[in-house]
Amino acid sequence: MATPARQTKTATDHHIQLLQGTQEFFPALIADMDAALSDIQFETYIFDCTGSGGLVAEALMRAAGRGVRVHLVVDGLGTGRLPEPWRSRMMAAGVRIQVYAPLGPLGLLLPTRWRRLHRKLCVIDGCVLFCGGINVLDDFHDPNHGELAAPRFDFAVRAVGSLVQQAGDTMEQLWWRMRAVRDVRHRRLSLALADLRAASAARVSARWAGAGGRGMRAALLLRDNLRHRTRIERAYLRAIAQARREIIIANAYFVPGGKLRRALMLAARRGVRVRLLLQGRYEYFMQYHAARPVYGALLAAGVEIYEYEPSFLHAKVAVIDAQSRRAWATVGSSNLDPLSLLLAREANVVVRDASFAQELRQRLVRAMKNGGRPLDPHEYAARPWRARVLDRIAFATMRAALWVTGNRY
């Protein structure tokens, strides 16, 4: 079972591959699923079988059909019950499916239902990990907005090394704990106790293959609502505080708390170039409008903000001092907003490797140049009064909702 110390220490036995969008992510994921011999553990917020998403479902069914143990966990809000005929086909093929925190009749009226499974993790045969922000969702399809003219902007990584076992242990524990909760609800207490024992002893028993030789320094950062509440936020704060030259953050839903805002402003004031690539297209009322009240102080401190316009920006990545020996980068599922940092289960991979950081930096700089509209401080200050009112309403509503959950941000 993973220990807290292992979560913060970066081991040096990793090989990490950067994957942009489903056009890079899905082929790599499916190839490893098709090569799986014993075990596939998969967690995702959204599992949508439209378009290329169906190819992932087909790969899971092929694996289960040849005897591979396939566990799939989807979020009760992001996905809910998988649509037919996909659900029936997957279960008939042997894919075992669980839904994390189904909404129930009262839905989101219960604050406890705001704690979602937002991480995107897949461990194959205990030796390969996929982690990032990419759901099983075709990049040219949006469930609410239909067909997209340009692909969604997002990233994931394929990782080999010792962090894979930590991810596998964590996923195995969640699987059996969910089973135990279900058994308790159905008054199957003996089965619930057996499931809890399985959760406490969870460890991937499939073959293990380390990266071999000296590789990249990397670590897996997990956020939950028990022991690891602030781990991802603290990692950001440390890296920002240590930045000397450059910070680039791309984040889909950017509503940072006071600590993060102050850290970014202090970095800009001490001469670090801070650039933020943020959502430029309207997707959800709350996330779009609640982000904008924090822009003014950041712009006044010298932070550069670019709004991504070609398609929906879904990335949750950052790179700091990429062109130095202190290079730091992260790719994961965690937004810099209260839902991710205070309520959801999240997973980020942190990489301390100059070549990886430079590759991520190049892709982000290219996106800012080709698709990012720089936000002018004067333009921001002169935005229409109606937009300002909506921004304040969204921001106040978000803070009130956090107060209901007992959180301060």
From the list 376, 378, 371, the residue with the least C-alpha distance to 250 is 371
| Rounded CA separation 327/10 (Å) | 13
Q: Of the given ranges (195-199, 308-312, 392-396), which has the lowest mean pLDDT?
A: 195-199
Report which of residues 383 and 186 the model is more confident about. 383
pLDDT at 198: 65
| Rounded CA separation 117/339 (Å) | 11
Distances (CA, A) of 109 to 23, 142, 214, 401, 405: 37, 25, 50, 11, 12
Which residues on neighbouring strands pair with residue 87, listed in sequence order?
none
- Which of 14, 120, 228, 289 is an active site residue? 120
Query: Please, what is the average pLDDT of the chain?
Result: 91
- Which of 39, 48, 125, 337 is an active site residue? 125
| Rounded CA separation 63/281 (Å) | 38
Report which of residues 409 and 65 the model is more confident about. 65
Residues 6+ apart with CB under 8 A from 308: 153, 250, 277, 278, 279, 280, 281, 367, 371, 372
pLDDT at 371: 97
Average pLDDT over residues 67-78: 97
- Which of 118, 138, 289, 391 is an active site residue? 118
| Rounded CA separation 178/176 (Å) | 5
Q: Is 195 a residue of the active site? A: no
pLDDT at 214: 65
Q: Of the given ranges (108-112, 308-312, 375-379), which has the lowest mean pLDDT?
A: 108-112
In tens, the pLDDT along 296-339 reads 999 999 999 999 999 999 999 999 999 899 999 999 999 999 99
In tens, the pLDDT along 212-226 reads 446 899 999 999 988
From the list 342, 346, 344, 343, the residue with the least C-alpha distance to 409 is 342
| Rounded CA separation 118/280 (Å) | 22
Per-residue pLDDT for 377 more than 80? yes
What percentage of the chain carries pLDDT values higher than 70? 91
Domain locations along the chain:
9-200, 219-405
Per-residue pLDDT for 402 more than 60? yes
Using 50, 70 and 90 to split pLDDT, how confident is the model at 204? very low
pLDDT at 267: 98
Q: Are 255 and 286 in contact (CB under 8 A)?
A: no
Per-residue pLDDT for 93 more than 50? yes
Phi, psi of 128 (to 5 degrees): -135, 135
Tell me which H or E stretch contains 322: none
Using 50, 70 and 90 to split pLDDT, how confident is the model at 18? very high
Average pLDDT over residues 160-170: 95
Q: Is 369 a residue of the active site? A: no
What percentage of the chain carries pLDDT values higher than 90? 79
pLDDT at 80: 92
- Which of 321, 337, 353, 391 is an active site residue? 321
Per-residue pLDDT for 134 more than 50? yes
Equal fold, 9-200 vs 219-405:
yes
Per-residue pLDDT for 230 more than 90? yes
Report which of residues 9 and 204 the model is more confident about. 9
pLDDT at 209: 38
Using 50, 70 and 90 to split pLDDT, how confident is the model at 11? confident
Q: Is 118 a residue of the active site? A: yes
Q: Is 145 a residue of the active site? A: no
Q: Is 75 a residue of the active site? A: no
Per-residue pLDDT for 79 more than 50? yes
Using 50, 70 and 90 to split pLDDT, how confident is the model at 194? low
Residues 6+ apart with CB under 8 A from 78: 44, 45, 46, 116, 117, 118, 135
Sign of the CA dihedral with 384 first, then 387, 261, and 119 last:
negative
Average pLDDT over residues 154-174: 96
**Residue type present at position 291:** A
| Rounded CA separation 293/110 (Å) | 27
pLDDT at 192: 60
Per-residue pLDDT for 66 more than 80? yes
Q: Is 289 a residue of the active site? A: no
Question: Packing angle between helix 231-242 and helix 258-269, nearest 10 degrees?
Answer: 10
- DSSP code at position 148: -
- Which of 14, 71, 289, 314 is an active site residue? 314
- Which of 39, 139, 316, 353 is an active site residue? 316
Per-residue pLDDT for 232 more than 90? yes
In the CATH hierarchy, which top-level class contains the domain 9-200?
alpha beta
Sign of the CA dihedral with 296 first, then 320, 22, and 310 last:
positive
Per-residue pLDDT for 203 more than 70? no
- DSSP code at position 83: P
The CATH architecture annotation of domain 219-405 reads 2-Layer Sandwich (3.30)
Report which of residues 11 and 134 the model is more confident about. 134
pLDDT at 196: 59
